[in-house]
């Protein structure tokens, strides 16, 4: 049941819609927003990947503005999705880690042997928050959602947060039935056995787009793929295609596939045929959506957004991809965890150019509201990128992140500030800082805090003040922490982790077909 505030908002939205429909509806663009799950910055052909094949996304990038310093608002999914929906920092909406419906990653249920207990956080996006769908509905848009929601269950679903139609969005962050039908998704009907989930979501979106041809009011369609999140699954044919490609490229014999980076093993080579198959299926679904826009004659009237909710999974969750030249990946505090593909295709304005302007997931809300002809509301953390799209310069600004949690992929409780070419990471376990110059050291290999003490102190004060301003919740001491057990675990990782990953990878390359499943799966061991 919607709260009273939501009812009032709906009433006001209807009143505004009447006004907009009689004045500016003809000038309003349609909007298609494509959000991929766990897609790394360099997982695309247009970003340098030679193993994965993404011709449709590459085509979209060729007519977009590419923000080469585009970031997700968090290194994991639910917080970055909340930021996209609200235009606010994950800290302000009190969602700072991925939402586990049972609450397993909340401090009161924490079972891991860690020095700190993670900070608590909300398990759903509050109804009091205004979502991008609600803001656009107030501007007379019809709203559609397909795919991964992961911002709350019953009472907090997309249809409770401003979306007229919902195809597949519910509380789970992982597809319950995997990436092939039967899906076991409570808000998405099963297709024929073996039907591909990304292709199904792309088809649902394409059908909605075609249904809007000739309508008097614009639409906002948000396609949030469950791909390319774990479980890492693809068809037998695609597995064979990319397994053979890896062999032709000489990747099968590579002996430096994994390295140990502090807390976990990290994949260094893009050669996973299961993941490559997932990438191709997702790219094909994107192509189907682009075709629907083009064939329905809406190409010149439609803005298309493409981005990811965080970096690629280079450690944990199947060790699916490599994020090089960026360090780390999803869940981690380095650039591999927070840099994302960030494309905006604006007809008549963009044609494949790139910009050095900083951008983050919080910026989509104000940008789209302005492009739709609305007034950007006060109180947002994001800013409109319309000036950049119009070829203008924007003043420099610092970007901040706060992750008071332990990531499943080896991420450490930390906070980050990026200001110009400089990035400072503050760690909550021991209070240490790391300082990197991302112009000269994009891979974050050289901590130069001792060479730049004045800059480090200034940026530390800047970060600490921001944490106070946003009332950030902090991790707390874990009274049950066993330091000796922790060190023993690290030692086991140092001595056996890399050989184990190499053995699992070798087994994946020669996996037996799963009878009756219609897909191949990188099973957890």
Q: What pLDDT is stored for residue 177 in this prediction?
A: 94
Q: What pLDDT is stored for residue 6 in this prediction?
A: 55
Q: What pLDDT is stored for residue 524 in this prediction?
A: 30
Spatial CA neighbour of 139 closest among 376, 315, 428, 476: 376
Q: What pLDDT is stored for residue 506 in this prediction?
A: 83
Q: What pLDDT is stored for residue 252 in this prediction?
A: 75
Query: According to the 3-state scheme, what is the secondary structure of 104-117?
Result: CCCHHHCCCCCCEE
Q: What are the tens digits of pLDDT across the range 505-515?
A: 888 887 654 43
Is it the case that residue 248 has pLDDT exceeding 80?
Answer: yes
Q: Can you name the residues that pair with 234 across neighbouring β-strands?
A: 520
Task: Give mean pLDDT, residues 374-403.
Answer: 96
Task: Give mean pLDDT, residues 151-164.
Answer: 98
Task: Give mean pLDDT, residues 386-414.
Answer: 95
Q: What are the tens digits of pLDDT across the range 324-348?
A: 999 999 999 999 999 999 999 999 9
Q: Which of 59-63, 246-250, 307-311, 368-372 has the lowest mean pLDDT?
A: 246-250
Output the CA–CA distances (angstroms, integers) from residue 171 to 154, 157, 210, 365, 398, in the order listed: 8, 8, 28, 22, 32
Task: Give mean pLDDT, residues 103-122.
Answer: 97
Mean pLDDT for all residues in the chain: 92
Q: What pLDDT is stored for residue 518 in this prediction?
A: 39
Angle between helices 236-248 and 273-295 (to 10 degrees): 110
Joined together, the tokens standing for residue 33 give 């927003």
Joined together, the tokens standing for residue 55 give 């011709």
Is it the case that residue 295 has pLDDT exceeding 50?
Answer: yes
Spatial CA neighbour of 162 closest among 384, 369, 371, 361: 369
Q: What are the tens digits of pLDDT across the range 194-236?
A: 999 999 999 999 999 999 999 999 999 999 999 999 999 999 8
Domains, the chain, with CATH or none: 4-521 (3.40.720.10)
Asked whether the beta carbons of 100 and 151 are under 8 A apart, the reply is: no
Place of tokens 């505090």: 333
pLDDT class of 523 with cuts at 50, 70, 90 = very low
Asked whether the beta carbons of 132 and 161 are under 8 A apart, the reply is: no
Is it the case that residue 298 has pLDDT exceeding 70?
Answer: yes
Q: What pLDDT is stored for residue 497 in this prediction?
A: 87
pTM of the model: 0.93
Q: What pLDDT is stored for residue 3 in this prediction?
A: 52
Angle between helices 364-371 and 77-86 (to 10 degrees): 30
Place of tokens 């957890």: 524
More confident residue, 493 or 451: 451
């Amino acid at each position: 049941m919607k709260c009273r505030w939501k009812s009032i908002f709906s009433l006001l939205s209807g009143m505004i819609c009447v006004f907009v429909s009689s004045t500016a509806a003809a000038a309003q663009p349609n909007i298609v927003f494509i959000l991929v799950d766990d897609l790394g910055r360099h997982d695309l052909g247009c970003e340098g990947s030679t193993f994965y094949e993404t011709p449709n996304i590459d085509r979209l990038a060729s007519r977009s503005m590419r923000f080469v310093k585009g970031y997700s608002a968090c290194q994991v999914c639910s917080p970055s999705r909340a930021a996209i929906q609200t235009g606010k920092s994950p800290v302000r909406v009190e969602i700072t880690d991925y939402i586990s419906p049972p609450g397993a990653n909340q401090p009161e249920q924490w079972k891991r042997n860690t020095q700190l207990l993670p900070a608590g956080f909300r398990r759903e996006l509050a109804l009091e928050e205004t979502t991008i769908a609600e803001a656009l509905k107030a501007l007379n848009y019809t709203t559609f959602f397909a795919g991964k929601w992961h911002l709350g269950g019953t009472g907090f679903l997309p249809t409770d947060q401003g979306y007229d139609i919902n195809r597949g969005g519910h509380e789970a962050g992982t597809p319950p039935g995997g990436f092939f039908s039967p899906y076991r998704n409570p808000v998405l009907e099963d297709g024929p056995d073996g039907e591909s989930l990304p292709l199904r979501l792309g088809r649902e979106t394409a059908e909605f787009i075609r249904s809007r041809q000739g309508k008097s009011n614009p639409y906002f369609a948000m396609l949030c793929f469950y791909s390319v999140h774990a479980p890492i699954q693809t068809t037998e044919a695609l597995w064979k295609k990319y397994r053979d490609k890896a062999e032709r490229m000489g990747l099968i014999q590579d002996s430096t596939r994994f390295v140990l980076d502090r807390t976990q093993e990290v994949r260094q080579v893009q050669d996973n045929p299961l993941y490559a198959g997932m990438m191709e299926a997702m790219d094909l679904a994107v192509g189907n959506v682009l075709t629907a826009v083009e064939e329905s004659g809406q190409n010149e009237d439609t803005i298309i957004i493409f981005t990811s909710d965080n970096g690629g999974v280079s450690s944990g969750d199947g060790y699916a991809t490599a994020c090089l030249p960026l360090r780390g990946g999803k869940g981690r505090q380095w650039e591999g965890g927070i840099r994302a593909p960030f494309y905006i295709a604006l007809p008549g304005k963009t044609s494949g150019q790139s910009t050095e302007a900083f951008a983050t997931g919080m910026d989509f809300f104000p940008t789209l509201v302005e492009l739709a002809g609305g007034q950007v509301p006060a109180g947002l953390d994001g800013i409109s990128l319309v000036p950049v799209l119009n070829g203008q310069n924007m003043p420099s600004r610092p970007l901040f992140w706060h992750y008071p949690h332990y990531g499943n992929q080896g991420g450490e409780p930390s906070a980050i500030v990026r200001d110009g070419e400089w990035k400072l990471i503050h760690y909550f376990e021991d209070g240490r800082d790391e300082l990197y110059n991302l112009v000269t050291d994009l891979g974050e290999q050289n901590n130069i805090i001792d060479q730049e003490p004045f800059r480090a102190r200034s940026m530390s004060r800047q970060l600490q003040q921001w944490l106070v301003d946003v009332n950030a919740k902090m991790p707390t001491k874990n009274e049950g922490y066993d330091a000796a057990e922790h060190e023993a675990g690290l030692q086991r990782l140092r001595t056996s982790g890399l050989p184990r990953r190499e053995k699992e990878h070798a087994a994946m390359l020669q996996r037996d077909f799963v009878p009756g499943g219609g897909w191949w799966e990188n099973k957890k061991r």
